Structure formats: structure tokens, C-alpha cells
């Protein structure tokens, strides 16, 4: 005697619809949770990026501050050197010399010739610092008198250039030209403790 299996397709269809509805609901819940997690992840990544930008700015500011401090230390050392008795003596020799030509320079005593080289080299060094952007013309204007030095040293510099067959004090010349332009742009400059003094 065989067992008669009857299948209630309407019940099966109803069960399948229920399972399908549950699967869709679970899928929707999963998608909502996934979106929420992704949103949290995006927000966390955004905050991390903001923190990285702040950190980069702080690092840049610190590097700039360190660079500015190193540059100021360098110019202060140069200023201290320019204030030594040796350099000041050389400046007095150059400043009060009635030198009109390189031939006159060659007739000077050795100590006086050395003074001309020393002052010219001092301002050539300052010119290099300005040209490289380590020091501003405003700072140099407060501390030194390059235009006066250039005027006093011109016969010497011209003779050295002619003897060498090239421009020896190019950065000093550029410094002098830069200071002239600076004074045209800002005529009301302050008169600070400038070196060398006249």
C-alpha cells in the first residue's frame, strides 16, 4: 500500500514568500548597518586627514621658526664679528682714506691694504646672505651701511676687478644696488645701530 504524498502548493508558496520577505528585510538591515559603518569609517578618515593637515602645518611652522632662528643667529654672529676692534679699525681706515684710484691703493702700507680687503669681503659675505634669501635688506639696513662702504671701496673694487679680469665682488655690487632700490621704496627707514659706523 503506497503512501500518498500531497503537497499543498499554496502553503509552500506562502512559506517561500515569508522566507523571501525575511531575507529581504535582513538584507536591508545589513545594507543599513554597512552604510552606517562606512559613514563612521569615512568620518574617522576625514578626522584623521584633518589631524594630518594640522600636524603638517605645525611641522611647517616649526621648520620655518627653526630656519628663521638659524638665520638670525647667523646674522648676529656676523654683526658681532663686524663689531670687533679689528673690523672697526679696518672700517676707520677705509672710511677716512682719501683713496681715489687703485694705484693709490697699491701705495698704501700693508695694514691699510688688508683693511680694504677685509671690509670688501665682509660686505661680499653679507651680499651672499641677502642674495640667497637668508637675510632681508631691511635687516641689513638696520645693522650695516653697505652703500657707504661701496662708495669708499669703489676705486679698490674697480682695480681688483681689472686685475682679476672678472668681477670679484659681484654680491657686494648686488647688495649695493639692492639697498638703493630698497631706500627708494621705503625712504623712511630707521637708523638703528649700524655697522661699520662712520
Q: What is the pTM of this model?
A: 0.62
Is residue 169 one of the residues assigned to a domain? yes
Beta-carbon neighbour count of residue 8 at 10 Å? 9
- Start-to-end C-alpha separation, the chain: 134
Let me know whether 158 and 124 are in one domain. yes
CB 124 within 8 A of CB 161: no
Q: Which residues form the domain of 21? A: 9-67
Is residue 145 one of the residues assigned to a domain? yes
Let me know whether 172 and 89 are in one domain. yes
* pLDDT tens, N- to C-terminus, the chain (198 residues): 445 555 555 665 676 667 777 777 777 777 777 787 777 778 877 888 888 788 888 777 787 777 777 777 877 888 788 889 999 999 999 999 999 999 999 999 999 999 999 999 999 999 999 999 888 898 888 888 999 999 999 999 999 999 999 999 999 999 999 999 999 887 654 454 455 544
Is residue 19 one of the residues assigned to a domain? yes
Amino acid at each position: 500500500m503506497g503512501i500518498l504524498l500531497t503537497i499543498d502548493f499554496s502553503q509552500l508558496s506562502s512559506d517561500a514568500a515569508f522566507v523571501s520577505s525575511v531575507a529581504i528585510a535582513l538584507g536591508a538591515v545589513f545594507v543599513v548597518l554597512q552604510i552606517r559603518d562606512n559613514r563612521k569609517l569615512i568620518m574617522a578618515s576625514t578626522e584623521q586627514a584633518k589631524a594630518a593637515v594640522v600636524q603638517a602645518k605645525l611641522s611647517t611652522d616649526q621648520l620655518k621658526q627653526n630656519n628663521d632662528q638659524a638665520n638670525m643667529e647667523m646674522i648676529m654672529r656676523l654683526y658681532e664679528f663686524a663689531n670687533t676692534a679689528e673690523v672697526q679699525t679696518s672700517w676707520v681706515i677705509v672710511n677716512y682714506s682719501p683713496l681715489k684710484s687703485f694705484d693709490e691703493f697699491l701705495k698704501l702700507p700693508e695694514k691699510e691694504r688688508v683693511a680694504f680687503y677685509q671690509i670688501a669681503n665682509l660686505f661680499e659675505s653679507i651680499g651672499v646672505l641677502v642674495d640667497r634669501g637668508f637675510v632681508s635688506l631691511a635687516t641689513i639696513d638696520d645693522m650695516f651701511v653697505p652703500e657707504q662702504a661701496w662708495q669708499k671701496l669703489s676705486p679698490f673694487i674697480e682695480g681688483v676687478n681689472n686685475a682679476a679680469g672678472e668681477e670679484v665682488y659681484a654680491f657686494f655690487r648686488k647688495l649695493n644696488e639692492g639697498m638703493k632700490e630698497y631706500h627708494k621704496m621705503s625712504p623712511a627707514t630707521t637708523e638703528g645701530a649700524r655697522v661699520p659706523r662712520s
